[in-house]
Amino acid sequence: MDGLTNGSTGELSTPPTVETNCAPYAMQQFGGRTQETRPRTMPYSAPNGVAGIEWHLGRAARQQLWRSIGTGGLAKPFHPRALRIFDNGTTRRKPDMTSALDQLKQYTTVVADTGNFQQLDEFKPQDATTNPSLILKAVQNDSYKPLLEKTVKEHASKPMAQIIDQLLIAFGKEILKIVPGRVSTEVDARLSFDIKGSIAKGRDIIKLYEDSGIDRKRILVKLASTWEGIRAMETLQKDGIHCNMTLLFSTAQAAAAADAGAQLISPFVGRIYDWYKKSAGADWDEVKMGGANDPGVQSVRKIYAYYKKFGYKTEVMGASFRTVSQITELAGCDLLTISPDLLKKLAESNEKVERKLSPEAVANDPVSKIAIDESSFRFLVNDDAMATEKLAEGIRAFAADAVKLEKLIEALK
């Protein structure tokens, strides 16, 4: 930027010389009420050896430019943030648009879905979520190996389950230094059908956080949305431990979780989409089944409408996204947990984001109350092939990653 700007004032250290071909355009624009016919981009010769510079100007700025031409240049043309530098040295005015991510934040609480806490500050999420797969991925990154090694060294004499708990809490504490809200920490997936074991693990997680000075209100204990997981959550919620019901793929699971008093649920948009796409095979039509017709999007909308219609306070947090479109189609959902890759795409996009979900928007959606007990829950989930298969697949995958994490830890002991 040497030779381009002077400090932080936005002034040009050497005013650019306006090319002569700009003059006719000035006369056309300001010589009465002539319709604008000149290009919106106005080139200037390169000042002080910069490869080239151009601005895309708003109306007021263009008028200021033409008024200042006769005085030998621009005094304070633009705020520095209005300029964008390209690799070839050219500069242009960045359009005055709000990013898709910032637009989304007007309607929805944005949550980062990652164990890589070094990425969090870039996107300013309110909360963060983790799971065994994300933690396993993070500890294999050189940046996080010291945290893994330190945790293992300090707790090497403890049982493996406790070392893993300490590692999860270590990541959670680092995340809470960055996000202002909550972090979700997951109960071992191998306890998905163990009510007592899940309750004990949830209490252990909260105690470890509280022993580290973290308020339990900033923690969500994640449990799989099995019947047993929901019953464990019911007890934990009564203990004042807020829970996030994960691996949720159906309205039956959502209804049971809300009836039991869940703080939050995480319906998996992308995994629902994956199942229907794979099931359709060659008949899948991405255009026809995209946008609002995406089966994952429709599932979350139905759950959101169910909760709003019947007055449930449980928060709905869409999760497991594959595309930006799936996210923007759910703008207005209580929360959306989004991977860093998709957060980056949203931050770099200026596409307009409109609110799609609100209590008013879903007021006329056709939803009926579901009476849930153990037998009806098991039948309804069993009757939904997608929910049955994806729930089982998710538990197996998280359990397998827990085993891989144990092997990494064992190698360090």
- pLDDT tens for 354-410 read 999 999 999 999 999 999 999 999 999 999 999 999 999 999 999 999 999 999 999
How many separate domains does the chain show? Answer: 2
- The reported pLDDT for the residue numbered 413 is 84
Please state the rounded mean pLDDT for residues 298-307: 98
Could you report how far apart the first and last alpha carbons of the chain are, in Å? 51
Query: Over the chain, what is the mean pLDDT?
Result: 83
Which residue numbers are catalytic? 222
State residue 169 phi and psi, 5-degree precision. -70, -35
Instruction: Read off the pLDDT of each residue in 91-115 and give the average, rounded to a whole number.
Output: 82
Of 191, 259, 200, 268, the C-alpha closest to 224 is 191
pLDDT band for 81, please (50, 70, 90 cuts).
Answer: very low
Residue 2 lies in a domain: no
Assess whether 45 and 113 both reside in one domain: no
Please check whether residue 140 lies inside any domain of the structure.
Answer: yes
One-letter amino acid at 76 equals: K
0.85 exceeded by pTM: no
The answer on 108 and 84 residing in a single domain is no
Instruction: Let me know: does 312 contact 258? Beta carbons within 8 Å.
Output: yes
Mark whether 79 and 111 lie in a shared domain.
Answer: no
Q: Tell me if 302 is assigned to some domain.
A: yes
Indicate whether 10 belongs to any domain.
no
Asked whether residue 12 is assigned to any structural domain, the reply reads no
Average pLDDT over residues 8-24: 40
Which of these three, 54, 74, 93, is where a domain ends?
Answer: 93
CA-based nearest residue to 235, from 247, 243, 226, 246: 243
pLDDT per residue as tens digits for the range 21-35: 443 333 333 344 444
> Which of 69, 93, 117 is at the close of a domain?
93
The last residue of one of the domains, among 44, 68, 93, is: 93
pLDDT at 306 over 90: yes
Helix axes 269-280, 295-309, angle to 10 degrees: 130
pLDDT of 155 over the 90 cut: yes
- Whether residue 63 lies inside any domain: the answer is yes
- Any residues with CB less than 8 A from the CB of 405 and at least 6 apart, and which? 132, 135, 136, 139, 164, 167
Question: 97 vs 276, which has greater pLDDT?
Answer: 276
Looking at residue 293, what DSSP letter applies?
G
- The answer to whether residue 64 scores a pLDDT higher than 60 is no
On whether both 144 and 35 belong to a single domain, the answer is: no
pLDDT at residue 304, rounded to an integer: 98
Q: What is the DSSP letter of 294?
A: -
pLDDT-derived band at 119 (thresholds 50, 70, 90) equals: confident
Integer Cα distance of 374 and 353 in angstroms: 40
Same domain (yes/no): 175, 222 = yes
75-89, 95-109, 345-359 — which one is most confidently predicted on average? 345-359
* Burial category of 317 from C-beta neighbours within 10 Å (exposed 0-12, middle 13-18, buried 19 and up): buried
Whether residue 69 has pLDDT greater than 70: no
Distance (Å, whole) CA 284 – CA 57: 45
Rounded percentage of the chain residues whose pLDDT exceeds 70:
77
Q: Would you state the pLDDT for residue 131?
A: 85
Is 150 domain-assigned?
yes
Average pLDDT on 108-131 reads: 91
Asked if 84 and 187 sit in the same domain, the reply is: no
Q: Are residues 157 and 78 in the same domain?
A: no
Backbone torsions φ then ψ of 294, nearest 5 degrees? -55, 125
List, in order, residues 6 or more apart from 296 with CB less than 8 Å away: 267, 268, 269, 270, 271, 272, 273, 320, 326
Among the ranges given (97-101, 188-192, 246-250), the one the predictor scored with the smallest mean pLDDT: 97-101
46/114 same-domain check:
no
383 CB-side CA count, 13 A: 9
Going along 249-378, which residue ranges are E strands?
264-267, 315-318, 335-338
**What is the number of H-type helices and E-type strands within the chain?**
16, 12
Domain containing 32 equals 20-93
Shared domain check, 104 and 88: no
Give residue 353's pLDDT band: very low, low, confident or very high (50, 70, 90): very high
Looking at residue 224, which CATH number applies to its domain? 3.20.20.70
| Domain contains 1 | no
Q: What are phi and psi of 16, to 5 degrees?
A: -70, 150
222 and 190 within one domain:
yes
Give dist(CA 206, CA 187) in Å, integer. Answer: 11
Domain shared by 89 and 104, yes or no: no
Same domain, yes or no: 221 and 86: no
